[in-house]
Structure 1
Amino acid sequence: MTVAIAASGVRATARIGARGNGRGGTDLPVLDGEGPLAVRRTRSAGKGAHVTLVGAMSAPLGGDRLTVEAAAHAGARLRVGSAAATLALPGQSKEPARYDVRITVGDDAELRWLPEQLISVRDSELRVTTRAELAAGASLVLREEQVLGRTGEGPGRLTSRLTVRRAGRPLLDQELSCGPGAPGGWDGPAALAGHRAIGQLVVVHPEFEQEKPAPALLGDGAVRMPLAGPGVLVTVVAPDALRVRRALDEALRTLT
């Protein structure tokens, strides 16, 4: 294992690979982390595999380049979470930090990406990209939560792009930019309306080809929208992370 430490920051990658074992269970032939990206297999109920990302050091800092690659191949059931919230922190480098997530899900496989919140700390700058490539028979549950600033402080600059493709065709592609230097209006009534916590839930399942939930308001600041394919997007804005999590948990219960 090698961690590259450049003048502009740390370069590190974590890799998770799961495969169905032909007996209804899931093996983890690939489980490897570097530097601040430690990965641990955790006890799980049933025959799926659970993996937890554990922060081994403060990251991402300015200039860091972190990547997580998670693949659930045919027949696998994989859940990936994190042990704690991720803090985007300012560093010595003036370059923005990058956090890239690459998800691959094969036919008859399911991946649940359910990390804790990302907190954008004042004076930090972080660019997050999450890309999911799904086979036609794949299932995905993906949750993202962002908190703009710690208690009593303003946010850093946060840019987050989420892309989901199924069978080579786009299912979702959207970008959110918040904080100092972001395009005007991000905090206005047509966007976050003064809220400091944002959450998204994407659920893709082959059964949604025949029938999927209709658009709906799920409460104050929460909405459910079907995608142009077998998927559903839930978006929540709220004053704090606890309310976002409660709304997303309830939406997930109704969808699964």
Structure 2
Amino acid sequence: MSDSSLLKMPTRSTGAMFARAALSSGLAANGRDSRVETLRSDGPLVLRKSNPKGPEPLTQRRHGVARVALAAGTAGPLGGDSYALDVHVGAGSTLVLLEVSAMLVLPGAGGDRSHMSIDVTVEEGATFVWWAEPIIAARRCNHRHDVRIALAEGARMILREEMILGRHGETPGDFTSRLRITRAGAALYDQQLSFGPSADGWNGAAVLGHGRAVGSIIAVEPDWEEAPPPALPYHQDAVLTPLAGPGVAIGAVASDSLELRRLLTQGLNELGPPWAI
């Protein structure tokens, strides 16, 4: 099912926008192909089905996957806005979530914090690919980005996250991002990053230094249960690290978004097929 409706008007005091979107996938009647079962979105978060042109990368070259694109229906989020996205990947299905463009986080008139909350559940035997575009923390913004992912024991997942510290030639606003992943109820990955005028030490050598872009790729593969890929510092500003479970984290810091994407892709290619792109 699919519907689209604009959420209510902003609160009188701040003009804030509140939006929620939901997406789910499941198996088609033939028991092999995947299909989109729920697709609901509010104005600022626009979800649309997207048709692949061939076998989907990062899904072991599968055909018949469910593929959805997320686009911004309005500018922002702006200070005071609150967005939420719920994703459910049904047992045995494969869902690919792409993003159409970068998210530009902007300040609001009153200096309030904006918030994006994303909750993902991936059931047994399912595969979730989330290929996000960068989040740009514009000058004077104040934003928190929370992502929580719950994986079943036999679930497979890969996601990319990228943060850019301000637009060209500007200092970033305040930005905090936290990514928490559990597998079969146990913690697998939990990382928080804060930067901007209100954060201490973020531009020191132990965190971002002179970097203007930072990001990661997290891959979880049940086949790595006994032998995950080894640690590999493949660049002075990038590393591939095994997790305490069947997964790896690829992390990089770079001078700009183009170099960050190159470093993350290089780390992915170090994993080899079927991950290489």
Report the TM-score when normalising by structure 1: 0.96
Q: Which residue of 1 aligns with 2:108?
A: 91
Q: Which residue of 1 aligns with 2:154?
A: 137
Residue 20 (str. 1) matches residue 41 (str. 2): no
Among 171, 174, 185, the residue aligned to 1:157: 174
Output the CA distance in 1 between the equivalents of 2:180 and 2:24: 20
Among 8, 11, 32, the residue aligned to 1:6: 11
- 1:243 partner letter: E
Deviation at 1:247, TM superposition (A): 1.6
Residue 109 (str. 1) matches residue 126 (str. 2): yes
SS in 2 for 1:75: coil
Q: Which residue of 2 aligns with 1:77?
A: 94
Output the CA distance in 1 between the equivalents of 2:40 and 2:26: 15
Among 207, 218, 221, the residue aligned to 1:202: 218
Is residue 91–residue 123 contact of structure 2 (8 Å, CA) maintained in 1? yes
Residue 245 (str. 1) matches residue 253 (str. 2): no
Among 208, 211, 215, the residue aligned to 2:231: 215
Q: Which residue of 2 aligns with 1:47?
A: 64
Alpha-carbon RMSD: 1.1
Q: Which residue of 2 aligns with 1:228?
A: 244
- 1:101 partner letter: I
Report the TM-score when normalising by structure 2: 0.89
Deviation at 1:2, TM superposition (A): 4.9
SS in 1 for 2:224: helix
Output the CA distance in 2 between the equivalents of 1:28 and 1:250: 31
Output the CA distance in 2 between the equivalents of 1:3 and 1:162: 26
Q: Which residue of 1 aligns with 2:39?
A: 31
Q: Which residue of 1 aligns with 2:58?
A: none
SS in 2 for 1:31: strand
Residue 122 (str. 1) matches residue 139 (str. 2): yes
Is residue 108–residue 141 contact of structure 2 (8 Å, CA) maintained in 1? yes
Q: Which has the higher strand share?
A: 1
Deviation at 1:193, TM superposition (A): 1.1
Deviation at 1:112, TM superposition (A): 0.7
Deviation at 1:93, TM superposition (A): 3.1
- 2:19 partner letter: A
* 1:2-32 CA-partner distances (Å, limit 9, x unpaired): 5132233111011110002243111111011
Q: Which residue of 1 aligns with 2:270?
A: 254
Output the CA distance in 2 between the equivalents of 1:103 and 1:226: 22
Consecutive unaligned residues in structure 1, runs of 5 or more: none
**Residue range with higher mean Cα deviation, 239-248 or 120-129:** 239-248
Stretches (4+) displaced over 6 A: none
- 1:204 partner letter: V
SS in 2 for 1:249: helix
SS in 2 for 1:246: helix
Among 190, 198, 215, the residue aligned to 2:206: 190
| Identity among equivalent pairs (%) | 36
- 1:140 partner letter: M
Output the CA distance in 2 between the equivalents of 1:13 and 1:231: 30
Output the CA distance in 2 between the equivalents of 1:240 and 1:16: 32
- 1:225 partner letter: T
Is residue 239–residue 267 contact of structure 2 (8 Å, CA) maintained in 1? no
- 1:147 partner letter: I
Output the CA distance in 1 between the equivalents of 2:261 and 2:33: 29
Q: Which residue of 1 aligns with 2:57?
A: none
Output the CA distance in 1 between the equivalents of 2:207 and 2:254: 12
